[in-house]
């Protein structure tokens, strides 16, 4: 048998090992970078979920408050004592899923009822406007500074002469 290249010593012994180690180091740095990016994206997704839960809780609390006080929105109804035609609660705390909501209604105005396209004839209706705000915060997710405030307007028609 004849030996190939027996006159030339092999000068490239170990080159493949060095190249593969360099490529392994580069791939490791790439994986670490991707891992850090994934952690940041996970935190963003968690914050987005907490904000969505807070908005849903605030909307639910406002809907619940309006349903509990249906028909009671009248001029100065917030200052009347409960049980005398006044509100069930003028300010309440609502505890929905994984959070807490503080609801605060405020009477804004009382005056002529304005309804585009409505024809009530000679009834001369008046209306009272309320702003119902719901401040929602998360209890169980450990997120800090994740409060949301949602406002809902209520325009309740009242009889003629009800507004002072």
CB 148 within 8 A of CB 47: no
pTM of the model: 0.66
- Mean per-residue pLDDT for 13-20? 83
Position 145 pLDDT exceeds 70: no
What is the chain's Cα-based Rg?
34
Q: Is residue 10 part of a domain?
A: no
- Residues in Cβ contact with 128 at an 8 Å cutoff, skipping those fewer than 6 apart: 73, 74, 75, 107, 109, 110, 155, 156, 158, 162, 163
SS3 162: coil
Give which of 95, 98, 94 is closest to 140, Cα–Cα. 98
Bridge partners (DSSP) listed for residue 134: 103, 150
Q: In whole angstroms, what is the distance from residue 131 CA to residue 129 CA?
A: 7
Q: In whole angstroms, what is the distance from residue 65 CA to residue 104 CA?
A: 10
Q: Is residue 146 part of a domain?
A: yes
What is the residue range of 116's domain? 15-158
Q: Is residue 1 part of a domain?
A: no
Percent of the chain with pLDDT over 90: 12
Position 65 pLDDT exceeds 90: no
Residue 48: its pLDDT value, please?
Answer: 83
Confidence band of 52 (pLDDT split at 50, 70, 90)? confident
CB 161 within 8 A of CB 69: no
Looking at the chain, how many residues does it have?
Answer: 164
Give the lowest-confidence range in 20-29, 104-113, 121-130.
Answer: 121-130
Q: Is residue 121 part of a domain?
A: yes
Q: Is residue 163 part of a domain?
A: no
> What total number of domains does the chain contain?
1
Q: Is residue 6 part of a domain?
A: no
CB 29 within 8 A of CB 126: no
What is the number of helices (H) and of strands (E) in the chain?
1, 4
């Amino acid at each position: 048998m004849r030996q190939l290249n027996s006159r030339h010593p092999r000068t490239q012994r170990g080159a493949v090992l060095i190249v593969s180690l360099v490529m392994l180091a580069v791939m490791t740095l790439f994986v670490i970078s991707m891992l850090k990016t994934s952690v940041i994206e996970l935190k963003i997704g968690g914050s987005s979920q907490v904000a969505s839960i807070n908005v849903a809780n605030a909307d639910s609390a406002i809907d619940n408050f309006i349903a509990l006080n249906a028909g009671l929105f009248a001029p100065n109804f917030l200052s009347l004592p409960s049980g005398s035609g006044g509100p069930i609660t003028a300010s309440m705390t609502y505890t929905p899923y994984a959070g807490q909501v503080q609801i605060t209604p405020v009477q804004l105005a009382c005056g002529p009822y304005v309804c585009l396209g409505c024809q009530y004839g000679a009834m001369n209706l008046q209306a009272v406007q309320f702003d119902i705000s719901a401040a929602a915060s998360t209890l169980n997710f450990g997120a800090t500074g994740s409060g949301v405030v949602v406002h809902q307007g209520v325009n309740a028609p009242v009889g003629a002469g009800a507004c002072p």
